[in-house]
Amino acid sequence: MSIVPSPQYRAHFDARVEFANGGGLSAERFRLDVPAGDLDEAEVARLFVHHLGLALVGSVRLDSLEIVEETHRGSRGVETDAVTGIAVPARRVIDLSHVIREGLITYPGLPAPVFTPHLTREDSISHYAPGTQFAMDNITMIGNTGTYLDSPFHRYEDGADLAGLDLATLVDLPTEVFHLRDVSSGAPEGREIPASVFFDRDLRGAAVMLDTGWSRLFGTAEYAHGAPFLGAAGVAELIRQGVTLVGIDSLNIDDTESGGERPAHTGLLAAGIHVVEHLTNLDALPPSGARFTAAPPAVEGFGTFPVRAFATLG
């Protein structure tokens, strides 16, 4: 059966660009590849600016905009699948973090975050010009809230704290994902992620993501018991391979039902390998090819803090 290519679209328009630092640019009867036939003027304007690589744009006005079915010519920012002809975005961003909300229980026994207002919108009326309001709020929470990163200081008094981490080890890391959905509750040997799953890949410098599927229970009582974990043998293998970061979508990277031993935190953080816990949505990532980012604020004398963890594809 032959594959029928999907229709492709191009936008036809006149444009006037005003730059924030002065000057402008005009275009007449411009034609631009677009990913769909129902885009609004704002989205076409964004694609136009991206295609031309314009900087410091103050405003864009489009006139006589018309989107027609027409073969793509290769506009920057709009890629086309060679087989299906479907226009696809140049990059996808996949959120891997849990949402932090007031009252959230991340780890049983640890306090939930509490939100309190510092300045309400109503109270701000007397401080600013008419029609101008702000909200400023306090959040009280333990560093182990939501999806968070552990620095060496979390485990070792003389280890690097959040402010001492090299950003190059937190941003845009090549990512290897191990889909381990068959790891389930039961005996410890059934929950432990074995070292052998890492043998077939070169992991040096990578962010290693352990997709156990446990995040489906996040926020429930079941999340706290029988969770998958990384054992000492797996830790030793990841250290041997020289990984940069290890993330897991489970309760803890260690077995919290083992009587207090923490070989994963002990070994990984001693080796300068960051740990990110309570990830989610890892099943949306391919085994290889994504880039991972999880950067906490640079807080001195602090060992762990929530991150907005995400991966990029493309």
pTM of the model: 0.73
What is residue 83's predicted lDDT score, i.e. its pLDDT?
46
Q: Report d(CA 64, CA 166) in Å as an integer.
A: 50
What is residue 185's predicted lDDT score, i.e. its pLDDT?
41
At 182, which amino acid appears? Answer: D
Q: What is the enclosing helix (H) or strand (E) of 178? A: strand 173-179
What is residue 104's predicted lDDT score, i.e. its pLDDT?
97
What is residue 69's predicted lDDT score, i.e. its pLDDT?
92
Q: Report d(CA 244, CA 161) in Å as an integer.
A: 16
Q: Report d(CA 310, CA 75) in Å as an integer.
A: 27
What is residue 21's predicted lDDT score, i.e. its pLDDT?
84
What is residue 3's predicted lDDT score, i.e. its pLDDT?
47
Which positions of the chain have pLDDT values less than 70?
A: 1-5, 76-90, 182-189
What is residue 189's predicted lDDT score, i.e. its pLDDT?
55
What is residue 300's predicted lDDT score, i.e. its pLDDT?
98
The highest-level CATH class for domain 148-313 is alpha beta
The two three-digit tokens of residue 282, written as one number: 């890892």
Q: What string of H, E and C letters represents the secondary structure of 183-223?
A: CCCCCHHHHEECHHHHCCCCCCCCEEEEECCHHHHCCCHHH
What is residue 220's predicted lDDT score, i.e. its pLDDT?
94
What is residue 72's predicted lDDT score, i.e. its pLDDT?
78
